[in-house]
A and B are shown apart, each in its own frame.
Chain A
Amino acid sequence: MMRAAIASLLKRHKRQQLALDVEDELQFHLQMLEQKYVQQGMSAAQAKSAALRRFGDIERYKRQCLHISRRSSSVLRRSLKVLLLLIGLAGLSIRILNIDYKISRVGVMLIAVAICGRLLLYVRGLPPRNPECS
């Protein structure tokens, strides 16, 4: 229960951090554009509206960036889980091999089936090669 609460807090923090990073990055771009337009002789208000026009629909781009970065971080989490599972299974197989050769053959087969199944699930969960998001 405690673990779940901590995990949920960490997840929320991570999501907030991703959103802040995207916001920061896009705002930096807008400010650089505004600065350029002011240097070209525009008033602050004109520069701001020209920058927004040139940038396009900021909310849409923000949503797209967030969607992609959340998807990437969940793929990374899944990869880590698979890696941990494989390490665990490797450890288990070493222990079985030490106990008995006959049991070890059954064990190795079970592990192979588990690895294949997990890899299949992992590959099916990967994002498409040419993802489109909006």
Chain B
Amino acid sequence: MANQRTDLLQGTLELLILNTLARGSMHGYGIVQQIHEVAEDLLKVEDGSLYPALYRMEERGWIKSEWGVSENNRRAKFYKLTRAGQKQLEAERANWNRISKAVTKILQAT
């Protein structure tokens, strides 16, 4: 199974994070767990790579963070989607659908 894991395409991690946060506020560990769970561990993502992406997304105003207490009573930073992030998610979803449709068409044509 390990060698069947696929590298994430550049820029896709942000779409996955936005989509995960659309479910509600989450800490970084929760976001990664959710992504691995839904993708059934088929994607090869280093957990740490999530954090620079989260910081960049916060800088762009797509998400915002606040410190809170985790389910096991530890101090943790929680992220949530902003209105701008919601719009970005819609735009990125549409973009992803366009790309995937185009690639599928090309593959079917050959």
Contact = CB atoms under 8 A, between A and B. Distances in A.
Interface of A: 21-22, 24-26, 28-29, 31-33, 35, 54-58, 60-61, 64-65, 68-69, 71-72, 75, 127, 131, 133
Given A56-B46, A68-B59, A127-B59, A29 B29 contact: yes
Interface of B: 27-29, 32, 46-49, 51-52, 55-56, 58-59, 67, 70, 72, 74-77
A72 B62 CA distance: 14
A33 B29 contact: yes
A69 B55 contact: yes
Prevailing SS type, chain B contact patch? helix
A56 B45 CA distance: 9
Contacts of A31: 74
Nearest to A63: B52
B48 A25 contact: no
Given A24-B75, A28-B76, A131 B47 contact: no
Contact of A32 (B29, B52, B67, B75): B29
Nearest to A69: B55
